[in-house]
Amino acid sequence: MNIGIILAAGQGQRFGSNLPKQFSLLNDKMIIDYSIETFESIKNINKIIIVTPQEWVDKISKLYPKHLVIKGGATRQESSFSALKKCPKNTKNVLIHDSARPFISKSIINKCLLSLKNNSAVIVSKKSTDTIIRVKNGKIIKIEKREELFLNQTPQAFEYKIILNAHIKKTAIATDDFSLLKINDIKCKIIEGPNYNIKITTEQDLKIAKALLHNL
Ligand code: CTP
Ligand code: MG
């Protein structure tokens, strides 16, 4: 079984509206609908689990009666762990995706599934095109080497048992799932993430998404 997990339990603090950003409209649909529909169109995804805030569980279940809708936790990590615990016993692989990335394509998901045949983890990541500096307390402490820096997107795909165990051990507090793994112990493949696979984080990103929608 391959399970798709759509994370949508955040409150969108940086977005700054009362309505969590994943339920905002992007044209005629909610942001979350885009990822759900793309995952639904992949025939090798056998089940979809959607994680939402408690108060959205009923509404999203009614909209998507075929999928399992569960409540998330206070952090992304907790929400992801909640979904992993609800996966069926015979789950082989999981793909974990941020609902805040509506432009995820079928081709990326299929590449992840294919790469899982020879890897325990597959991440979608993009080379940094900006120079990144490290700043602490307003002071620049390091200029990073741009060619060594990549920006992680989602989905991230894993052998189920490996990522479930990493969540159980919880050796880190992380903003993605891959960061919970011991990188040297795992065979991981990096798939190049396209620029358009943006995460809607601020209101400005929603404007960029609206512009992108007409040009993809
Ligand atoms: N997420 C989640 N549960 C949480 C926090 C985040 O399922 N407790 C999900 C979000 O809904 C989002 C994805 O994880 O789709 C990436 O998180 P992020 O972009 O940080 O969203 P928010 O946490 O909602 O935003 P912010 O950090 O600005 O509050
Ligand atoms: Mg967050």
Please tell me the predicted confidence (pLDDT) of residue 215: 85
Please tell me the predicted confidence (pLDDT) of residue 80: 98
> Which of 33, 71, 98 maximizes ligand 1 atoms within 8 Å of its Cβ, making it the mutation to test the pocket?
98
From the alpha carbon of 73, which atom of ligand 1 is closest? 8
Alpha helices in 21-105 (DSSP H): 31-40, 57-63, 76-85
Question: Taking the CB of residue 47, how many other CB atoms lie within 10 A of it?
Answer: 17
From the alpha carbon of 13, which atom of ligand 1 is closest? 29
Ligand 1 mean position to 143 CA, how many Å? 28
Q: Is 152 in the pocket of ligand 1 (CB under 6 A)?
A: no
Q: Is it the case that residue 216 has pLDDT exceeding 90?
A: no
Judged by its nearest atom, the ligand closest to the C-alpha of residue 24 is 1
pLDDT tens sequence across 101-146: 999 999 999 999 999 999 999 999 999 999 999 999 999 999 999 9
Please tell me the predicted confidence (pLDDT) of residue 192: 98
Confidence of residue 99 (pLDDT cuts 50, 70, 90): very high
153: Cβ contacts below 8 Å, ≥ 6 apart: 101, 124, 125, 126, 193, 197, 199
Q: Is 17 in the pocket of ligand 1 (CB under 6 A)?
A: no
**Please, what is the average pLDDT of the chain?**
97
The verdict on pTM exceeding 0.85 is yes
